[in-house]
A and B are shown apart, each in its own frame.
Chain A
Amino acid sequence: MQSHFLLCAVPAFMWDADASLNETETILQGLIQDALAIERRIPKQVNLENERSRYVLCCAQIDRLTAQSAVSISTSDEFYEALRSGRFPAITIDESYLQLMVQADLLEQDQQIVERYHFGRSLFPPDQVIPHIEEFEKLANHLGGQRLDSIQRRIAFFRQLAGSYGCGVIELQEMVIGSSDTEQTIAVRTKPSAEQTALLTSTAVIDEIVQGSRRDAMEQRLRSQIVQAQVTQQVVNASNQPHDITTEVLHKFVYHASGVAEAALRLVYADGSESIPFPICSLTAPDEDRIAKALMLPPLKIALISMRHLDLDRYVDMAWFRNREASQSRTLAEADRFCYDISRQKFEELEALARQQDGLHIHLYHTGFEPAVIAFYRALVETLQHGRTTGLNILVIPHYYRGSTYERGHHWT
Chain B
Amino acid sequence: MNDEQQWLQKGFRRLAWHVEDSPHRLGYDHATGGKLPRNHVWRPYRFCVQDVLLGATVVRHAREHNCLEVDVFLTADVPQYEADSGARGLALFLLCEAFKCGGSMELRFTEHVEGGQVPTALQRIAAAYGMSFEHHHATQGRIDPRNARELFARLTGFSDDIYERVDLLSSQGSLSIERVCYAIQRGIWKLPEVESIVLGSPYPDLVLSGEIQPEQRHLYAHVLLHAQSALLGGLLDRKLALREHYDESGAAFDLEDDERNIIAEYEFAIGAKWYNCPDEMLLLPWSVGDVDPVEPNVNIVVLVRARDAIGLKRHLASDIALIGERALQSLGERYCVLVPFDFYDPLLSNERLNLEKQALDYHVHILVCPETMASLNVEARRRFTSSRIIRD
Interface of A with B (CB < 8 Å)? Answer: 1-3, 5, 39, 42, 52-53, 55-56, 59-60, 63-64, 67-68, 95, 97-99, 101-102, 106-107, 120-123, 171, 173-177, 181-189, 191, 296-298, 314, 317-318, 349, 352-353, 356
Interface string of B171-187 (1 = CB under 8 A from A): 01110000000000000
Q: How many angstroms between the C-alpha atoms of A188 and B202 in the bound complex?
A: 9
CB-based contact B315/A52 at 8 Å: no
Q: Which residues of A contact B215 (CB under 8 A)?
A: 39, 42, 52, 55, 121
Q: How many angstroms between the C-alpha atoms of A207 and B367 in the bound complex?
A: 59
Q: Which residues of A contact B165 (CB under 8 A)?
A: 186
Question: Which of B25-33, B91-99, B263-271 faces chain A?
Answer: B263-271
Contact of B315 among A176, A184, A297, A352 (CB under 8 A): A176
CB-based contact A60/B219 at 8 Å: no
Contact of B268 among A99, A184, A298 (CB under 8 A): A184
Given contacts A98-B218, A106-B216, A173-B218, contact A56 B377 (CB under 8 A): yes
A69 to chain B, nearest CB (A): 11
CB-based contact B202/A107 at 8 Å: no
> Which of chain B's residues 198-222 have a Cβ closer than 8 Å to chain A?
199-203, 205-206, 211-222
* Interface residue tally for chain B (C-beta within 8 Å): 52
Contact of B271 among A1, A55, A59, A189 (CB under 8 A): A1
Q: How many angstroms between the C-alpha atoms of A120 and B213 in the bound complex?
A: 11
Does B295 reach chain A (CB closer than 8 Å)?
no
Contact of A173 among B222, B268, B270, B309 (CB under 8 A): B222
A337 to chain B, nearest CB (A): 22
CB-based contact B64/A175 at 8 Å: no
Given contacts A184-B199, A349-B66, contact A107 B211 (CB under 8 A): yes
Q: How many angstroms between the C-alpha atoms of A19 and B351 in the bound complex?
A: 34
Determine the residue in chain B with the shortest Cβ distance to A114: B216
Q: How many angstroms between the C-alpha atoms of A296 and B66 in the bound complex?
A: 22
Nearest 4 CB-CB pairings of A with B: A187-B202, A122-B217, A298-B173, A173-B221
Does B235 reach chain A (CB closer than 8 Å)?
no
Given contacts A60-B308, A120-B216, contact A175 B225 (CB under 8 A): yes
Q: How many angstroms between the C-alpha atoms of A181 and B305 in the bound complex?
A: 16
- Give the residue among A1, A122, A188, A189 with the most B Cβ atoms within 10 A: A1
CB-based contact A171/B315 at 8 Å: no
Q: How many angstroms between the C-alpha atoms of A67 and B308 in the bound complex?
A: 12
Does B63 reach chain A (CB closer than 8 Å)?
yes
Q: Contacts A64-B308, A175-B307, A314-B211 known; list 19 others, CB within 8 Å.
A: A5-B218, A59-B221, A63-B310, A64-B310, A67-B310, A97-B218, A106-B216, A106-B219, A107-B211, A120-B218, A173-B218, A173-B222, A174-B314, A177-B270, A177-B271, A177-B318, A189-B172, A296-B173, A349-B64
> Which of chain B's residues 252-298 have a Cβ closer than 8 Å to chain A?
268-271
Interface of B with A (CB < 8 Å)? Answer: 63-66, 102, 104, 145, 165, 168-169, 172-174, 199-203, 205-206, 211-222, 225-226, 229, 268-271, 307-311, 314-315, 318, 322, 377, 381, 388-389
Q: Which residues of B contact A122 (CB under 8 A)?
A: 217-218, 221
Given contacts A1-B271, A188-B172, contact A59 B217 (CB under 8 A): yes
12 A-B pairs with CB atoms under 8 Å apart are: A5-B218, A59-B217, A60-B308, A106-B219, A107-B212, A121-B216, A175-B307, A189-B174, A314-B211, A353-B66, A353-B104, A356-B145
Given contacts A67-B310, A349-B64, contact A102 B203 (CB under 8 A): yes
Q: How many angstroms between the C-alpha atoms of A312 and B66 in the bound complex?
A: 24
CB-based contact A356/B104 at 8 Å: yes
Contact of B222 among A3, A56, A68 (CB under 8 A): A3
Given contacts A102-B203, A177-B270, A184-B269, contact A352 B173 (CB under 8 A): no
Q: Which residues of A contact B168 (CB under 8 A)?
A: 186
Q: How many angstroms between the C-alpha atoms of A95 and B314 in the bound complex?
A: 18
Q: How many angstroms between the C-alpha atoms of A57 and B184 in the bound complex?
A: 28
Q: How many angstroms between the C-alpha atoms of A63 and B311 in the bound complex?
A: 10
CB-based contact B218/A68 at 8 Å: no
Determine the residue in chain B with the shortest Cβ distance to A120: B216
Q: Which residues of A contact B229 (CB under 8 A)?
A: 1, 175
Contact of A318 among B102, B174, B201, B377 (CB under 8 A): B102
Determine the residue in chain A with the shortest Cβ distance to B215: A42
A133 to chain B, nearest CB (A): 15
CB-based contact A186/B202 at 8 Å: yes
Q: Which residues of A contact B315 (CB under 8 A)?
A: 174, 176
CB-based contact A102/B206 at 8 Å: yes
Q: Which residues of B contact A176 (CB under 8 A)?
A: 315
A377 to chain B, nearest CB (A): 23
B303 to chain A, nearest CB (A): 10
Contact of A181 among B66, B212, B269 (CB under 8 A): B269
CB-based contact B219/A102 at 8 Å: yes
A125 to chain B, nearest CB (A): 14
CB-based contact A121/B217 at 8 Å: yes
Q: Which residues of B contact A1 (CB under 8 A)?
A: 200-201, 226, 229, 268, 270-271
- Give the residue among B145, B222, B381 with the most A Cβ atoms within 10 A: B222
Q: How many angstroms between the C-alpha atoms of A181 and B268 in the bound complex?
A: 8
B311 to chain A, nearest CB (A): 6
A302 to chain B, nearest CB (A): 12
Q: Which residues of B contact A314 (CB under 8 A)?
A: 211, 388-389
Q: How many angstroms between the C-alpha atoms of A52 and B310 in the bound complex?
A: 22
CB-based contact A55/B214 at 8 Å: yes
A357 to chain B, nearest CB (A): 9
Contact of A191 among B173, B206, B217, B221 (CB under 8 A): B173
CB-based contact B322/A95 at 8 Å: no
Q: How many angstroms between the C-alpha atoms of A176 and B64 in the bound complex?
A: 51
Q: Which residues of A contact B221 (CB under 8 A)?
A: 3, 59, 122, 173
